[in-house]
Amino acid sequence: MRAMLSEKGIAFAKELEKIAERIFSDDDVDKIARAYDMAEYAHEGYFRASGEPFIEHPKEVARILASLKVDTDSLVSALLHDTVEDSEGKVTIKDIEAVFGSEIARIVDGVTKVSKINAPVGNSKAREKLETIQKMLFAMAEDMRVIFVKLADRLHNMRTMKYLKSEEKKRYKALETLEIYAPIAHKLGIHVVQAELEDLAFKTLYPKEYYRMKELMSQKKRERAEKTEKYINMLKIALEEHGIPAMVDGRYKHYYSIWKKMKAKGKKFEEIYDLIAVRAVVRDEKTCYTSLGVVHSLWKPMPGRFKDYIAAPKSNGYRSLHTTVITQFGEPLEVQIRDERMHQEAEYGLISHWIYKENVDVTTKQKWIGMLLEWKKELSEGIMGIADVKKELVVDEVFVFTPKGEIKHLPKGSTPIDFAYSIHTEIGHHFAGAKVNGKLVPIDYELKNGDVIEIIVNRNSKGPSLDWIRYAKSPRTRAKIRKFLKEEYVVEMEEKGKETLRAISKRLGKSMDEILKTDKMKRFIDTNGLNERELLVRLGEGTISKELVLNVLVDTGTKKKGKRRKRRRLPRKPIVRIDGMEGLDVRMAKCCNPIPGDKIVAVVGKRGITIHRIGCRNIKGLPADRLFHAEWIEHIEGEFTAKIAVELENKGAIGKVMEKMEGFGVRVDKVELRDTEWGTVIFIIEMRVSGVGQMEDVMRGIKSSEKVVDVERVMG
């Protein structure tokens, strides 16, 4: 048997054995060598853009996976992953199945299908996005090792990106990596792959920022190296004194994560302190908690900065203790403590459950396969859209508990209604209230880490109402409510939408058909991935407002010359309810510009009642007797001031942004330009919107434009 295999194939199997740091059986060596020979035959005469023989690519993919210590079938699949697609019929799936069996054939077939998918990025059309992600999820759900091979394939392609001649193709691949593959690696907990994918995509998309960050990190690294070594030695000695053997090292954050944090928090590089974390790997879970006491005896802990991910793991399975302390140099330092098993899972995530061993852990596998199948089902049934899946991949989380102590992971900002739907769709549909930590809370209560939630169910309830969409923060919850409403009331919603459109047509002196056929409305429908009927349903359910449609349609240049168009100010009708009272004279705070849909609070002062957004820095520390509960009154019509900051690659992109604004019919009051230290441009836009929904529509539309780095709302 061995004689039939090439010496190169056997040598490569032995090379992978060293990388994987485990002993291969004779059968393992035979399978890998046979796969090598088949791949070499399939790719003979083919070359990569770098000039290397094509066989070097599957070899490198196999090396990457061997370093992640995956099973033999994954290594064999890595060598064969391009044979069907790139051999002009020399090798087929049937050939692979005949030689290696159905399992490896299924993995290779899955990778082939995923490789043919041009994943949706940037401003791709919504329907195309839906179809491609469905295909990707289906291939992944067949066998999770499909995505392991594909992630390694993408990692090697990103490492060799410089050989691609087409700048457009480079940008597309980098965007696809940042929007699809890196978030999937994050969701599966494969940190080592996620970090490198993000940095390589960052380098391609924003080279100036990347090299600037690299330079700053290099300077900071030299400055901190000596201190970090002291921290590591101090902790190691302190643990040894308590009889705790440990592997202690330091880990620097990768460039993209620091850059993203700077942008999110509006901080300069010098203001980012947690560039490094000191990590201690100890013998077992019990020792983790003992070691925590040692750390806190060595350095003073910072209040509120301790996180126990062992008692409450993250949704991707990550377990560790995190604490931030103040060192002898007066600076904060994050210390992570975990055992060897937790460390494996932290670095390799879901892959760690496929690591070669006798007792394979199937629980986590089943969990992720179940999640992928659920996403696929919800996409195909129209419960979720592509944007919802993308949000689920990257969203920050909050963990809460059921009364029985079961952990639930939800998007940050989630409410009791989101929790109810996470238990079961029917529980959500019959939601009647909630207790958090034993106390009744309103439907819009924002869940916090560690909350214990008990859902009150009314089995006689007819189901969710339209108002629930406003209170739901999870994309999945909103999608389920919307699906219920469409199934139960689609005809009613469509008729309501028609009534709204008739009112608009009467106001503009045009027929409904004329309105739907205008270029502006066609563009609006296409941008939002709708058809005419879906537009009417969205109008009926209120997720697209009458005001938004009017703003899209009204052309500021159609008025007669000499008559200046009046700016529509806040309506005189009541717009907020304060402690249950309506009709009070209020004004909107300019420091935070609250708009309908924001969580708000009323502040009583010398100048009367001012409405602020909850979280506004100007109301922190105010006495409780000056703050009153406030909420928006339903169905407000009017325009409110909102400000957004658009970061652009250069000033030449401003025109495209303004075109996009015009497409949404939003009135711009004021603009301002600022240069950044990264060479990008911040374009601040003050506009008039009907509420949060319209503002978010505008921000999503702008973000899909070329040359747009990021879009954020600004407080004032």
User: Which residues are catalytically annotated?
Assistant: 85-86
* Cα–Cα distances in angstroms (integers) from residue 679 to residues 212, 634, 649, 674, in the given order: 10, 44, 8, 10
Side-chain-facing half-sphere of 81: CA atoms under 13 Å: 32
Q: Which residues contact residue 159 at a Cβ distance below 8 angstroms, ignoring those fewer than 6 apart?
A: 200
Contact 308, 318 (CB under 8 A): no
Compute the Cα dihedral for 462, 468, 472, 475 and give only its sign.
positive
- How many whole angstroms separate alpha carbon 411 and alpha carbon 399? 9
Q: Which residues on adjacent β-strands are paired with residue 646?
A: 683, 711
Amino acid at 631: E
Using the CB atoms, write b or e for 678-695: b if 16+ within 10 Å: bebbbbebbbbbbbbbbb
Write out the DSSP string of 294-355.
Answer: HHHHHSEEPTT--EETTTS--TT----EEEEEE-TTS-EEEEEEEEHHHHHHHHHGGGGGSS
- How many whole angstroms separate alpha carbon 28 and alpha carbon 13? 8
DSSP H helices, 125-275, are 126-142, 145-159, 167-176, 182-187, 191-205, 207-241, 255-265
447: closest CA among 487, 409, 390? Answer: 409
Give the largest CA-CA distance in the chain.
Answer: 94
Q: Which residues contact residue 546 at a Cβ distance below 8 angstroms, ignoring those fewer than 6 apart?
A: 500, 503, 504, 539, 637
Write out the DSSP string of 468-500.
Answer: HHHH--SHHHHHHHHHHHHHHHHHHHHHHHHHH
